[in-house]
Each structure stands twice: as C-alpha cells, then as structure tokens.
Amino acid sequence: AQSVTQPDIHITVSEGASLELRCNYSYGATPYLFWYVQSPGQGLQLLLKYFSGDTLVQGIKGFEAEFKRSQSSFNLRKPSVHWSDAAEYFCAVGAMGVASKIIFGSGTRLSIRP
Amino acid sequence: KAGVTQTPRYLIKTRGQQVTLSCSPISGHRSVSWYQQTPGQGLQFLFEYFSETQRNKGNFPGRFSGRQFSNSRSEMNVSTLELGDSALYLCASSSGLAGTYEQYFGPGTRLTVT
C-alpha cells in the first residue's frame, strides 16, 4: 500500500522569496505523484503530476517538482512566491491497477509575509 | 467544459438524520471519487466509482454509501448522522481511475451536523 508524508504543517515565506514544500512517499513500485493546491473555500486544483520520464516536472503557476527515487521524495518548488500563492498544498501518491487508489498527504499550509 | 458540480453547497442536519449529496462530473469522465475533509483528519478517501461500479473504498463505516448512475453522476449517502460527520465533502472526477489520472475537484458540500 502507498503512503505519503508532508512533514511541514505550516510554512511562512516572504513575498518574492523561494519556496520548497516537502513530500515523502512510500510505495514499492513506481508511483504516480501529484501536487494539488486548495484555496480557502474551494476544491483542489492540480498543480503538476509525475508518472515517468524527466524527473523535473513543470506545472502551472510557475511551480515545479523533482522526483528523487533514492530519497522517496517529490518536493514542490517555486523560485519566487506571490501573495496569491497562499493556500494549502497537498501531495498525493497513486498507483496503477484496478484496485489502485490515491492517497493524499496531510497538507502544508502556506502563508505569505508581505 | 463545465467543471465538477456538487449540490447542495451547504447543509445543516440533526444527529440521527440521513443525508444525500450529489456530484455531477465533467462530461466524459467515468470515474467519480468522494473525500471527506476535516481539520483534524485531513483529506480522507471515501470511495471511487467507475462506470457505475465501486472500485475502491476507504476506511469508513457502512453508514457511508454511494452509487453512480449511467450518466456518471454520483450520489453519496450518510445515514444516522453523527456529530463527527461534520465536514467538507469533496467530489472529484477523472477520465480514468483516480490512482493514475488527474482528478478535477468540485467546490465541496459543507455538512454541519448539530
């Protein structure tokens, strides 16, 4: 069975600073990895996903994530955050197969300091 | 394309009652998943339906049930409501199984049990 850990519950960064949100997963085979963002009062929106190929994945809104198999990590990065990036970010791991399901991490709340 | 819609957006019910929530997926999507989101437990998977069949189920009691219709619309039902069922219920649709395909989330139904 797969599992995912987001070790940071809440992170505050200054506007214009760089950002890295951590995600560690556990899965025996090649995982399907996702990052979603949830703004207050809204549903989740996909930022990016990794299935195979290039381990550096580009997403929407200037986000990117790097898959590191040796570290079982899929950290999300952004070189310069904007006030509108304040939201909750969820890492998720899925798997192939009819009985597969997607497991979400507990989320990291991002606050932006003016 | 129209996004995922959920009705109603807000509900207030009394302990012991039952409730039915509805989800209309994006046109052409055959998979619908349901999640419960609470501050304490985070985002928890309830079940996934694909082509009218339940493909996966999370660790919730039998009071939580769902179904999917031939047009892919889905409903979830919670019987004998408990205070702890107060949560945001999110529905997500995808073109394939949730473990491997991007999910599109609705805005959620906020259920309050008093």
* Residue A106: C-alpha distances to residues A8, A74, A82, A92 (Å): 9, 15, 23, 9
Q: With beta carbons under 8 A apart, name residues in chain A contacting B43.
A: 90, 104, 106-107
Query: Mean per-residue pLDDT for A63-81?
Result: 96
Contact A21, A76 (CB under 8 A): yes
In this prediction, residue A41 carries a pLDDT of: 80
In this prediction, residue A42 carries a pLDDT of: 83
In this prediction, residue A102 carries a pLDDT of: 84
pLDDT of A99 higher than 60: no
Residues paired with B19 in a beta bridge: B78
pLDDT of A100 higher than 70: no
Percent of chain A whose predicted confidence (pLDDT) is above 70: 96
Query: Mean per-residue pLDDT for A54-75?
Result: 95
In this prediction, residue A76 carries a pLDDT of: 98
DSSP A63-101: -EEEEEGGGTEEEEEESS--GGG-EEEEEEEE--STT--
In this prediction, residue B3 carries a pLDDT of: 93
Query: Mean per-residue pLDDT for A81-87?
Result: 96
Q: What is the DSSP letter of A49?
A: E
Query: Mean per-residue pLDDT for A82-94?
Result: 95
Looking at CA atoms only, how far is residue B14 from chain A in angstroms?
Answer: 23
In this prediction, residue A97 carries a pLDDT of: 65
Contact (CB<8Å) B98/A101: yes
A-B C-beta contacts closer than 8 Å: 63
Q: How many CA atoms lie within 13 A of B80 on its CB side?
A: 4
- CB-based contact (8 Å) between A44 and chain B? yes
The parts of chain B modelled with pLDDT lower than 70 are none
Contact (CB<8Å) A32/B33: no
Looking at CA atoms only, how far is residue A13 from chain B in angstroms?
Answer: 22
pLDDT of A78 higher than 90: yes
Contact (CB<8Å) A107/B106: no
Distance in angstroms (rounded) separating the CA atoms of residues A61 and A45: 11
